[in-house]
Amino acid sequence: MKDNQRGADGHEIALEARQATDDRLHSPSVARNWGPIVEAFGELMPVAGHVLELGSGTGEHAARLCVAYPDLRWQPSDPDATSRRSIASWASSIPDGRMAPPLDIRADDTWWTSQKGPTPDAIVSINMIHIAPWAAAEGLFHGAGQVLASGGRVFLYGPFKRHGATAESNLRFDADLKRRNPDWGVRDLDAEIAPLAHAAGFTHMSVRDMPANNLSVCFVKD
């Protein structure tokens, strides 16, 4: 096995060393958090229908959610070629083609809203917004507002500030993110993310506290 923390272009795309066996990558954080995420997803989201995931990373979360909720049809995506190879390998382990081969999508490039295929019922982004430029969050909600029908949902997971406040560990994490890339950082759910969502037509927000000072958040389109 080998560490795989950088993408195909050499840029840092993961905050931890991802272990690789052949093409399939394994993220240590997924091993810790996938159970609570699966549970929160089942409480906040529809567990049947078509899901588009932006920033699928290794593909492990998608695979776990497909196993837990067999009525989901999951379309993963990632802009990094190394990650897409891992996602494709994980997808091959899911029966009946319920986890599709990954698309090459950047959340901040809203051409993805015109992609052919089933119209998603939900859009998912797990641990992406804080390790991407702010334009990725803008693109996510702008695109979601275009492609999701009334009642469609956006599911986010990760660390967030609430009205400017967060746990001390998240403040240290935010400083480390900005050291790595000044365009990254822990976003404020109330002051930054919610206004984006509202502007795109998502005015109902549900929040669930998660382990390690993370949040699961669901926005519902009007």
Amino acid at 97: G
CA atoms within 13 A on the CB side of 140: 31
DSSP 218: E
Domain presence at residue 145 = yes
**Residues for the chain: how many in total?**
222
Domain presence at residue 4 = no
The CATH number linked to 183 is: 3.40.50.150
Helix (H) / strand (E) element for 52: namely: strand 48-53
- 8 A C-beta contact, residue 152 and residue 144: yes
Burial (0-12, 13-18, 19+ Cβ within 10 Å), 49: middle
Domain presence at residue 8 = no
pLDDT in tens, the chain (222 residues): 344 444 445 554 454 455 566 788 988 878 788 999 999 999 999 999 999 999 999 999 999 999 999 999 999 999 999 999 999 999 999 999 999 999 999 998 877 777 777 899 999 999 999 999 999 999 999 999 999 999 999 999 999 999 999 999 999 999 999 999 999 999 999 999 999 999 999 999 999 999 999 999 999 999
Domain presence at residue 9 = no
Domain presence at residue 181 = yes
Domain boundaries, position 166: 28-221
Domain presence at residue 32 = yes
Q: What pTM was estimated for this model as a whole? A: 0.90
For position 33, what pLDDT does the model report? 86
When divided into structural domains, the chain yields a total of 1
Domain presence at residue 88 = yes
